[in-house]
Structure 1
């Protein structure tokens, strides 16, 4: 993950660093409330208590600020994934427990951070820097959960366990993201409840891993 230094002139003095941190935190707070294109730099400055001049002393504009915020946010998200990975590894045993735990864990992390991730994903479609960072983060985080499922390799009947797990997790992520409206095409929450979706995805993943295709 790139450093915030790549997108901003990070201050070295303590008070200035604190002001910059307030800018980052205020931006994350606002992204939890509204979409990126509905937020202004003036609002960020008002929320953080930092002058507009000070903000422009650190970044060249709103796009650079969003890149800085993404770096910080994805660092925290990686920590959340690691903590969830450890929790599942300590509490779930066997494929029948690990798969639902992984599906639910992934879904809950996406749901908890949906509003912020939505802004990154939409902006990433036109900003190569944000798009690349988001993709890298997703691959690294999902790899943790993929390895959890593959730890039950002996129970998987599919002839290609790695491909089966990776394909299954990709479809699970895509469905959860679509349900939560993380892309530009809208939400699917009218199709049923979130808990029911997680249960259905768990059942489908288990069925796929235990299926022996005729080839």
Structure 2
């Protein structure tokens, strides 16, 4: 797994490493409140309790810092996805239980981290490093949940289970991402409830997996 220091100059001493850790944590805290373009480096340093010189001793500016922050944040997000997938595997049995658990698990993890993910998404459109890391994390974490549905393959009636799982998971993610403002359209779910959306998506996914096309 890539280290957050991959996008920063190596520290000359332990104190420098600790200062940079505080800078990364301060940045994540601020990203939960507002977008990265609304945050200044001076503000980050003030919250972290370090000088701006300490920051520029490790990175060249905001773009490089955001790359390092993304690595640290994705380490935690990937672990959260792994733990949630393990929880579902242990507690949900059969397609009727697994599908709602997968839809809710994916959606709630996105919802809890949407404010931070939004900054990565917006910056990723112009920064190839951030964009590639975001796609890689999303693909790997999605796969963890897709495998849970694949384990119920015997119950799926669609003649092409793999295709049905891939298509429905893609639809689930796209709908949740749009609701949460994690796409170019921004949030579209203000007029309806989140829990209602999760229920509808679960019902639609189950119906599709159990559907036998007439063609």
TM-score normalised to the size of structure 1? 0.97
Partners of 1:4 and 1:10 within 8 A in 2: no
CA deviations on 1:92-120 (whole Å, 9 max, x unpaired) are 00000000000000000000000000000
Match of 1:129 in 2: 129
Q: Do structure 1's residue 142 and structure 2's residue 142 form an aligned pair?
A: yes
CA deviations on 1:128-157 (whole Å, 9 max, x unpaired) are 110000000000000000000000000001
Q: Which runs of 5+ in 1 are unaligned?
A: none
Determine the C-alpha separation between the residues in 2 that align with 1:27 and 1:206: 40
Please state whether the residue corresponding to 2:32 is helix, strand or coil: helix
Moved more, 2-11 or 59-68: 2-11
**How far off is 1:188 after superposition?**
1.2
Please state whether the residue corresponding to 1:189 is helix, strand or coil: coil
**Runs of at least 4 residues off by over 4 Å:** none
Match of 1:185 in 2: 185
Determine the C-alpha separation between the residues in 2 that align with 1:203 and 1:178: 19
Please state whether the residue corresponding to 2:190 is helix, strand or coil: helix
Q: Which runs of 5+ in 2 are unaligned?
A: none
Determine the C-alpha separation between the residues in 2 that align with 1:47 and 1:62: 16
CA deviations on 1:155-174 (whole Å, 9 max, x unpaired) are 00111111111111111001
Partners of 1:159 and 1:212 within 8 A in 2: yes
Q: Do structure 1's residue 83 and structure 2's residue 106 form an aligned pair?
A: no
Q: CA RMSD in A?
A: 1.0
Trace 1:97-112 onto structure 2 (pairs within 5 A).
97-112=97-112
**How far off is 1:125 after superposition?**
0.8
**How far off is 1:10 after superposition?**
3.1
Moved more, 186-195 or 162-171: 186-195
Match of 1:170 in 2: 170
TM-aligned CA distance change 1:100 to 1:53, over 3 Å: same
